[in-house]
Chains A and B, each alone.
Chain A
Amino acid sequence: MTVLSIIYVVLFYVAIIVLFGGIANKVMLYKRVPAPLKIPVTPAPITRGGVVYRLFYEVVFFNSLFRASKWTWIFGWIFHVSLLLAFFRHLRYVISPDVFFWPLVNNQIVQSFGHYAGFTMLLGLAGLLARRFLVDRVRYISSASDYLMLILIMGIATSGLMIVYVAHTDIIQLKAFIMGLFLADPQNLPSDPILLVHLTMVLFLAVIFPISKLLHAPGLFFAPTRNQVDNPREKRHLSAWGAEIEKKDGRNA
């Protein structure tokens, strides 16, 4: 084992723990904090199924953003879809060919779409970055971290594309390294600089996920404005602390 490989093994484990531990921690917090009042933004669904549909529509098509700003929507949507396609493409590096859905991952369609996604991701990110610079209102609300996050993901996309088109890495060895992490059997990592840059940036993104605005991904599902059923007259909504107040003075009896 090279020193470099040992360092990356440690970095991977730390990043994975921070990422999943951090998100789990936040999600549990969001679940634990009560929503004391009914506040769905109306018109809102009057059934649970309707709420699922509403959220589905938001997650898949960015419905509200579409209504808000077509430019932000088109760049944002292209970026996120590209991210999803790139994610599918990468699955073949982390799952064993023995797994039953291997053919779903390791096929021409997923793999070539994954390539194109690298370019469209850059396009989407460039659009979002340009908007941050060019629109005075968006520039006003942007902090350094807002720009850097876009640049970080652009760096990930660029280095990923470079591995495909400019400087190949030993992909067999890379997969051995990744599978070794799963099996707690550390393997060597190819030492190509572009690969290392790519992986380092991905690990950094994973670490900052639970402490940054990237929490919008899980947070979306917890917004009471979107996930509540519009039925306050039919069904009494009462939080635990609201019930405590009632108990104290007994005025609701």
Chain B
Amino acid sequence: MADYEIPETHEFPIIPSIMEGAMAHSAPFVASEEFQTAMGFPSGAETGQLIDGWKEKFLELLEEKLGKYRSLQVFMDTCVKCGACTDKCHYFIGTADPKNMPVARQDLIRKIYRRYFTFAGKFFGKLGIPGFVGAAELTEEAVREMYSYYHQCSECRRCAVFCPFGIDTAEVTMAARDILSMIGMGQKYSNQIIPKIHKIGNNLGLPEAALADTLEGLEEEIEDETGVKVRLPLDEKGADILLVTPSADFFAEPHVDGLMGYAKVFHAAGVSWTISSLASEAANFGLFIGNYEAMRNISLRIRDEAKRLGVKRIIFGECGHAWRVAYNHLNTLAGPWDFLDQNYPIPQHILEFTKDCLDRDILNIDKSENDHMTLTFHDSCNIARASRIGEEPGSQFTTPREVIKAVCNNFHDMPIETIHDQTFCCGGGGGLLTDDLMELRIKGALPRMEALKNTVAEKGVTHMAAICAICKSQFTKVLPYYGMTMDQIVSVHQLVSSAIILEGQGEEAEESDDAEESA
């Protein structure tokens, strides 16, 4: 573990006094010309330099955004600086940097809007005192500050829950990042990943052959464990269901245990399904960088593959932002889906599928398989505040909990002000899950870690379940910094996987368990 200053956790959350400039040094690597070009973005003379004529371009792009996104236009005008959001961001709580207060983060670009697009800002700007009405000149320093602080926002929308006007900082962050990309300041992490998804099929760059190998390995693992042959099909034409899942599910812990869980549920439900190598990624980083066309192109792969494979349904695996894009935008960006079976939600979440199987009582569950754990559940921001799982408003909170309770005996929630739509981001979402932002990720995890630690102490919770690939990866990395262990984070379908008893799973399986132990 590298050395970072770890924020102290407390029994009750503490809102810090502001410390100006505390995180001014934090910024992710800027994309080099290679990655900028691959995305169709321009580059300056050197990596990290702005393009010629950046100022005019910035204002031109901002004007264009204001004309294309009602959210941005309205949000630029309606903030009254009431302060309701100021203590709601996990990055502010973890870093005390006032520019990590949502309103201050928005103001980085709102000041420019006020200065160049409003009467008040232009008037006082000409008098030389734009700050009088919350406006400011567009300088290179201001742009660099934007790059830093718009990459200290995980687009989690917790601030938007509390804003009396529904102002969503995520919308502002996305607009700002897109503008920054177009003046030479794209983020390396996201811009490096997106082209891979088109070239190879997933963010990891896992080619078809390797993927086939991996899936075969997982089939063997399940067979060793249960004695039952459960298939994980790849590129099978004519399957009913296309599973689109984050590529971390193919290799990372605890993600992969979740993938085996989906496979077992599909097997037990007796449906035919397949993964597509060309669409072997649910993630859509186009959302993070605020680029509509990038997000659309990534979404269209799924349309193309659904058509090519002739599936009738699409189901998404456990991934937060991917579900946000799938649930809200797949229809907009890659629809209409008139060629799929209209009797099922398009797309459907794996939890909706599993919950339905549980409701219909077609799964054979032995809850005691999970008795060595006491669970809590982390609501992922994009599922809690930006989408829905299930039929009713708020069923994105009940569905995962009901599934967990159906397969585990021991479950306790974390404090109410840290779950449901008030959930705290894991600290690594929104395109920040990169090593060059490790300090930010550790500090941003503070409120969640604090709530978890207290629940561990009070309720004897041993593990936290999650339904997002980024949450799982982030927690695996930051839990040790807070005195916990990386295996305390589990996938919800990992719990399902442990508890499900497949048909034909019997003594043979136990024998192989023993064999494994003695080996």
Is the pair A41, B166 in contact by a Cβ cutoff of 8 Å?
yes
Distance, CA A138 to CA B81, complexed state (A): 7
Interface residues of A in 178-226 (CB under 8 A from B): 208, 211-213, 215-216, 219-220, 222-226
Contact for B74 among A131, A213, A219, CB less than 8 A = A219
B241, CB-defined interface residue at 8 Å: no
Distance, CA A137 to CA B107, complexed state (A): 14
How many Å from the CB of B195 to the closest CB on chain A?
Answer: 18
Main secondary structure of the interface of A (DSSP, over half): helix
A34, CB-defined interface residue at 8 Å: yes
Is the pair B120, A252 in contact by a Cβ cutoff of 8 Å?
no
How many contacts between A and B, using CB within 8 angstroms? 216
Is the pair B77, A137 in contact by a Cβ cutoff of 8 Å?
no
B1, CB-defined interface residue at 8 Å: no
Residue-wise interface mask of A (28-44) relative to B, using a CB-CB cutoff of 8 A (1 in contact, 0 not): 01100111111101111
Is the pair B393, A46 in contact by a Cβ cutoff of 8 Å?
yes
Quick one: closest A residue to B75, CB to CB? A223
Interface residues of B in 82-108 (CB under 8 A from A): 82-88, 98, 101, 103-104, 107
- Chain A CB within 10 A, most for which of B74, B79, B328: B74
Is the pair B81, A38 in contact by a Cβ cutoff of 8 Å?
no
A84, CB-defined interface residue at 8 Å: no
B518, CB-defined interface residue at 8 Å: no
Is the pair B336, A224 in contact by a Cβ cutoff of 8 Å?
no
Distance, CA A33 to CA B63, complexed state (A): 12
Q: Which residues of A contact B296 (CB under 8 A)?
A: 245
Size category of the binding interface on chain A = 35 or more
Is the pair A41, B393 in contact by a Cβ cutoff of 8 Å?
no
Contact for A42 among B77, B331, B384, CB less than 8 A = B384
B515, CB-defined interface residue at 8 Å: no
Q: Which residues of A contact B79 (CB under 8 A)?
A: 213, 216
B483, CB-defined interface residue at 8 Å: no
Interface residues of A in 1-36 (CB under 8 A from B): 26, 29-30, 33-36
B376, CB-defined interface residue at 8 Å: no
Q: Which residues of A contact B83 (CB under 8 A)?
A: 69, 72, 131, 135, 137-138, 141
Distance, CA A136 to CA B388, complexed state (A): 36
Is the pair A33, B69 in contact by a Cβ cutoff of 8 Å?
yes
B270, CB-defined interface residue at 8 Å: no
Is the pair B331, A69 in contact by a Cβ cutoff of 8 Å?
no
Known: A37-B328, A42-B385, A62-B164. Contact between A225 and B71, CB under 8 A? yes
Q: Which residues of B contact A211 (CB under 8 A)?
A: 118-120
Distance, CA A72 to CA B165, complexed state (A): 14
How many Å from the CB of A121 to the closest CB on chain B?
Answer: 16
A96, CB-defined interface residue at 8 Å: no
Is the pair A36, B68 in contact by a Cβ cutoff of 8 Å?
yes
* Count of residues in B whose CB is under 8 Å from the partner chain: 76
Contact for B163 among A64, A135, A137, CB less than 8 A = A64
Distance, CA A81 to CA B434, complexed state (A): 48
Q: In the complex, identify which listed stretch (B127-135, B406-414, B494-502) lies at the interface while the others stay far away.
A: B127-135
Interface residues of B in 455-490 (CB under 8 A from A): none
Distance, CA A142 to CA B421, complexed state (A): 28
A143, CB-defined interface residue at 8 Å: yes
Is the pair B88, A33 in contact by a Cβ cutoff of 8 Å?
no
Is the pair B18, A26 in contact by a Cβ cutoff of 8 Å?
no
Is the pair A39, B168 in contact by a Cβ cutoff of 8 Å?
yes
Is the pair A144, B386 in contact by a Cβ cutoff of 8 Å?
no
Is the pair B157, A41 in contact by a Cβ cutoff of 8 Å?
yes
Q: Which residues of B contact A142 (CB under 8 A)?
A: 81
How many Å from the CB of B324 to the closest CB on chain A?
Answer: 9
A237, CB-defined interface residue at 8 Å: yes
Contact for B393 among A35, A45, A72, A238, CB less than 8 A = A45
Is the pair B71, A232 in contact by a Cβ cutoff of 8 Å?
no
Q: Which residues of A contact B373 (CB under 8 A)?
A: none
How many Å from the CB of B154 to the closest CB on chain A?
Answer: 15
B53, CB-defined interface residue at 8 Å: no
Residue-wise interface mask of B (325-365) relative to A, using a CB-CB cutoff of 8 A (1 in contact, 0 not): 00111011111100000000111000000000000000000
Is the pair B73, A251 in contact by a Cβ cutoff of 8 Å?
no
Is the pair A37, B396 in contact by a Cβ cutoff of 8 Å?
no
Q: Which residues of A contact B107 (CB under 8 A)?
A: 141
A145, CB-defined interface residue at 8 Å: yes
Is the pair A236, B68 in contact by a Cβ cutoff of 8 Å?
no
B29, CB-defined interface residue at 8 Å: no
Is the pair A230, B393 in contact by a Cβ cutoff of 8 Å?
yes
Q: Which residues of A contact B345 (CB under 8 A)?
A: 233
Q: Which residues of A contact B300 (CB under 8 A)?
A: 251-252
B394, CB-defined interface residue at 8 Å: yes
Quick one: closest A residue to B161, CB to CB? A41
Interface residues of A in 40-67 (CB under 8 A from B): 41-46, 50, 58, 62, 64-65, 67
How many Å from the CB of B103 to the closest CB on chain A?
Answer: 5
Contact for B160 among A62, A225, A237, CB less than 8 A = A225
Distance, CA A145 to CA B384, complexed state (A): 36
A68, CB-defined interface residue at 8 Å: yes
Is the pair B164, A242 in contact by a Cβ cutoff of 8 Å?
no
Q: Which residues of A contact B25 (CB under 8 A)?
A: none
Contact for B168 among A67, A216, A225, CB less than 8 A = A225
6 contacts across the A-B interface (CB closer than 8 A): A36-B292, A39-B386, A136-B18, A211-B120, A232-B327, A242-B333
Known: A42-B386, A141-B107, A211-B119. 7 other contacts (CB 8 A): A34-B69, A141-B101, A142-B81, A222-B70, A230-B393, A232-B329, A245-B292
